[in-house]
């Protein structure tokens, strides 16, 4: 059984790069994740955006 907020290979590579960038930049920079969708989107924010926020928060401690 595999669980991931997004099964795309590209998005999972993005998660890895995001972790490395956040760890490298540290708390010298503010991070903002902006997601644009139609106003009827049922899962807003998306699981992908939530995971990105978790990755940045974990990398910054």
Domain spans in the chain, listed from the N-terminal domain onward: 9-60
Average pLDDT over every residue of 35-48: 88
> What does pLDDT average to over the chain?
90
| 21 vs 18: CA distance, rounded Å | 5
Average pLDDT over every residue of 5-21: 90
**39 has a pLDDT exceeding 90:** no
Residue 40: the pLDDT is 87
Position 2 confidence tier, pLDDT thresholds 50, 70, 90: low
Helix, strand, coil percentages, rounded to 5, for the chain: 55, 0, 45
- Contact status, residue 4 vs residue 46, Cβ threshold 8 Å: no
Position 50 confidence tier, pLDDT thresholds 50, 70, 90: very high
**Does the active-site annotation cover 37?**
yes
**Does the active-site annotation cover 38?**
no
Catalytic residue among 37, 38, 40, 51: 37
**1 has a pLDDT exceeding 90:** no
> 57: closest CA among 14, 17, 26?
26
**Domain 9-60 fold:** Dihydrodipicolinate Reductase; domain 2 (3.30.360)
Catalytic residue among 16, 19, 40, 41: 41
């Amino acid at each position: 059984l595999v669980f991931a907020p997004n099964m795309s290979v590209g998005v999972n590579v993005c998660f890895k790069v995001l972790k490395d960038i956040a760890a490298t930049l540290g708390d010298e920079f503010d991070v903002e994740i902006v997601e644009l969708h139609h106003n009827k989107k049922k899962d807003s924010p998306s699981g992908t955006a939530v995971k990105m926020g978790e990755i940045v928060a974990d990398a910054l401690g």
